Amino acid sequence: MEKITSRNNEKIKAAVKLVASAEERRAQGLFVLEGARLCKDAFLSGVSMKTIFVTPDALKKYAAELDFLSGINAECFEITNEVAGKISDAATPQGIFCVCKTLDKKSNIDKIKHNGCAEPKKYIALDRIQIPGNLGAVCRTAEALGLDGVIVGGGCDIYNPKALRASMGALLRIPVFVADDLAAFVRDCTRSGMRSYAAVPDADALPVTKADFSGCSLCVVGNEGAGVSAAVAAACSQAITIPMAGRAESLNAAGAAAVIIWEMVR
């Protein structure tokens, strides 16, 4: 395995750019995974890996998780702990990084809005979610509770390292679709017969416990500060709300999504 000891190595600088910039990830069609478990999960999920960087300490500490390295078709480089610290955006780097090819998250989105609700599938949509941890947490909950997919409309990049970590790999395993125009997408879904709901902090809206999720349905959770946009809300069939007790006015995006997903699949 070839060794890299300089933080200024061109391959290291390229990886650092991918970690830091969504624009760079889109331009290159690549993203970086950090952590033994995430990298192995990606390999098992069929994610295409281009380059791997690993420290000697990581090879020893995570030997079981990194057993897939022996048969992988990718460039592998041994790096120092100092170089690992350069690539990582985590407080405590694990010393293993995989540069992977981005997945096609748009090709099947038309099937959702034009399926005529032949099957009672259920989706959560995120309108301009900004916090990577919220995006990752929603995907993790969606996978755990058996939702059919997550639709991301603007906001945080799905390949943000913090989002990938928070999802515990769910972003790579479950169907996650990117909608360039979420309002238009929801409008098409509604016209196809899908029940579409906008989650709002409005006591006059329909309580989520009374919403009909028995058929093909979609619920939109909005931006952490601004909520669901007016255009997206207008495209939905109905507004729903999570009744609040005490002096609480609302839940954060990930918490609200978890309650709604539970009600959708219950």
Is 203:241 a contact under the CB 8 Å cutoff?
A: yes
How would you write the pLDDT of the chain (266 residues) with one tens digit per residue? 889 999 999 999 999 999 999 999 999 999 999 999 999 999 988 899 999 999 999 999 999 888 888 878 889 999 999 999 999 998 889 999 999 999 877 656 666 755 555 677 899 999 999 999 999 999 999 999 999 999 999 999 999 999 999 999 999 999 999 999 999 999 988 888 899 999 998 888 999 999 999 888 999 999 988 889 999 999 999 999 999 887 767 788 999 999 999 999 98
Long-range pairs, 49-52, Cβ under 8 A, ≥24: 49/74, 49/98, 49/99, 49/100, 49/101, 50/74, 50/75, 50/99, 50/100, 50/101, 51/11, 51/15, 51/75, 51/76, 51/77, 51/98, 51/99, 52/76, 52/77, 52/96, 52/97, 52/98, 52/99
Q: In 3-state terms, what secondary structure has residue 252?
A: coil
Tell me the whole-structure pTM to 2 decimals. 0.90
Q: What domains lie within the chain, and their CATH numbers? A: 2-101 (3.30.1330.30), 109-265 (3.40.1280.10)
